[in-house]
Structure formats: structure tokens, C-alpha cells
Amino acid sequence: MSPAPTHGVVCGAALDLRVRPEHRAELGSQLLLGEVVRLAGKPRKGWLEVEGATDGYRGWVREWGLLTVSATRARAWQRHALGRVAEPITAVRARPGAGIAVSPLFFGSCVIAGPARRGARSVELPDGRRGFVPAAAVRERAASAVSLEERALSLLGAPYLWGGRTPAGYDCSAFVQQVLAEQGVRLPRDAHEQYLACRALRSSEQPAHGDLAFFRAEGARMSHVGLALGEKLFVHSRGWVRVSSLDPDNPLCDKPLIPQFCGWFRPRRRG
């Protein structure tokens, strides 16, 4: 007898995670193909309450977006799915460079990747579908990542979406979480929890690439976050992913944010 499912593996390109089990509920976040979740309760009219295995973020998803599995199968998937999508978006196709589309894949998605041959790489998705992507579109998890600056610039112009976690739409904390995850830095999902996972830079320290700028309205929790790029520049998702400055004399200055700036912070741990 097979063990009862305790986990799920996301089998759609992006799976909406809502705060209540209904489509009209607020979008809390999104899950990417290949990510693993823990099942947090019984199904409710086609919805499942889940908790992200990586960041502990909870919400409700439609059952159709998950392959429900045992803990053993979830661990097996994680051991084998070492390929990470390294392009903002790519397409899995039935044949190398051609054929029908199998699925889109967003930056950060997890797949089982085969060897690169003649500019293409075979991939396997959690539900067993197979196809090919351009070889450069998927990297092994252990391979050196692109630089933080290169990654941030590759996502410029992505629109802002509350709860969004893909290049089709990011909120501020999801953008920071995704970019830093590729650099080996794991952070919680929301801006205030990210703030709690960081330490303030001392006055003698200059912000380095990957340090965080936090913002909040007076008396409120941290509500906005961006990534330092040096020279008083930072990249963030506000309206769209863009580079801004805190220098009033810089044409890139985001002046409405200056009164809300709380300082520069550094994640306490990597991995």
C-alpha cells in the first residue's frame, strides 16, 4: 500500500498561492514549477493548503497545479531536480529548437536536466513530461551563478504584481528573494520578515552588491525592499523592476522613497 501523500511538487509553470481557498482571494505569492510544498490540511473543494518547503510561506492552491507525493518521493525529486532555469523565461519543446510547446518555464524553476548537446538540453518535469530547452537556459544548481548585477539587469522592466514571483510580474520582496536565492542567499518571502533576517550595516560599512535597502511609512512595518548595486544605486520592483538612487541630485532618484528609507542591511546567513 502506497503511503499517503504529505507533499506536493508544483507541475505548472506558475501556481497562484492565495490567502483563502477561492479565486477572488488575495494573491499572497506564487510557486514555480518544481518547487516542493508540504500539505497542511485536507482538500477543500478543489483547493489545498500548503507550506513552502524552502521558505515556509503558507497559502491555498488549486489541486490541479500539484503532483501530490509522499515525503520520500519529494526528497527524490529534490535530489534529482538540480537544473535551475537561468533565463527570465524559456519554453520546453518536444524537439530541440522545434516542435510543439510542452510548457513555459520561468527563472528559478527546478527541472531534471540532461546533458547539453548541439545547443539543446533535455529536461524532465515533475509530472513526467519531457522536452528540450536551449542549453544556456538551464544551469546545474552547483554551477556558478551569473552575477547579481547581471541577473538584476536581465529582469529590468518586469512589471510589478502584488504576490507575483515570476518575470511576468514581481512584487518587491519576491524579486529580492529570487535574485538572492540564485546567489546562495535564502530569505523569507515578505519584506518585514526579510528585514528580521538581516543586520543593519555599521556606520563604517559601505553597502555591497546584494545588501538590502528597507523602507517603511512612519509607524508601519517594513513594506518595501531593494537590492544594493553600489554608488547609492539599488534595484527594486516598484511599478516595474528598475534601478533607482537615493541621491536627490541623481536623475534616477526615487524621491518619494527617501523619507521612508530605513538604512542598509545585510542577510545574516547564506544557504
Domain boundaries, the chain: 7-78, 81-140, 148-267
Percent of the chain with pLDDT over 90: 88
pLDDT at 88 > cutoff 60:
yes
Q: What is the fold of 7-78?
A: SH3 type barrels. (2.30.30)
The side-by-side arrangement of strands in the sheet containing 66-69 is 27-32, 14-18, 58-62, 47-52, 36-39, 7-10, 66-69
Segment 222-230 mean pLDDT? 95
Segment 117-121 mean pLDDT? 92
Segment 3-17 mean pLDDT? 95
Tell whether pTM > 0.75.
Answer: yes
Q: What is the pLDDT of residue 97?
A: 84
Distance CA 212, CA 195 (A): 8
pLDDT at 2 > cutoff 60:
yes
* Neighbouring residues of 74: CB distance < 8 A, sequence distance ≥ 6: 6, 7, 8, 9, 36, 53
Homologous superfamily assigned to 148-267: endopeptidase domain like (from Nostoc punctiforme) (3.90.1720.10)
The 10s digit of each residue's pLDDT in 244-258 is 999 999 999 999 999
Q: What is the pLDDT of residue 197?
A: 96
Q: What is the pLDDT of residue 224?
A: 98
Report the length, in residues, of the chain. Answer: 271
pLDDT level of residue 1 (50, 70, 90 thresholds): low
Segment 99-115 mean pLDDT? 96
The amino acid at residue 184 is: G
pLDDT at 269 > cutoff 90:
no
CATH class of the region 81-140? mainly beta
Distance CA 72, CA 264 (A): 41
Q: For the purposes of burial, counting CB atoms within 10 Å of the CB of 54, is it exposed (0-12), middle (13-18) or buried (19 or more)?
A: middle
Cell of 52: 513552502
pLDDT at 144 > cutoff 90:
no
Distance CA 214, CA 146 (A): 24
Q: Do domains 7-78 and 81-140 have the same CATH topology?
A: yes
Region of 229 (left: φ > 0; alpha: ψ -120 to 50; beta: rest) is: alpha
Q: What is the pLDDT of residue 231?
A: 80
List the single range of 105-109, 204-208, 259-263 with lowest mean pLDDT.
Answer: 204-208
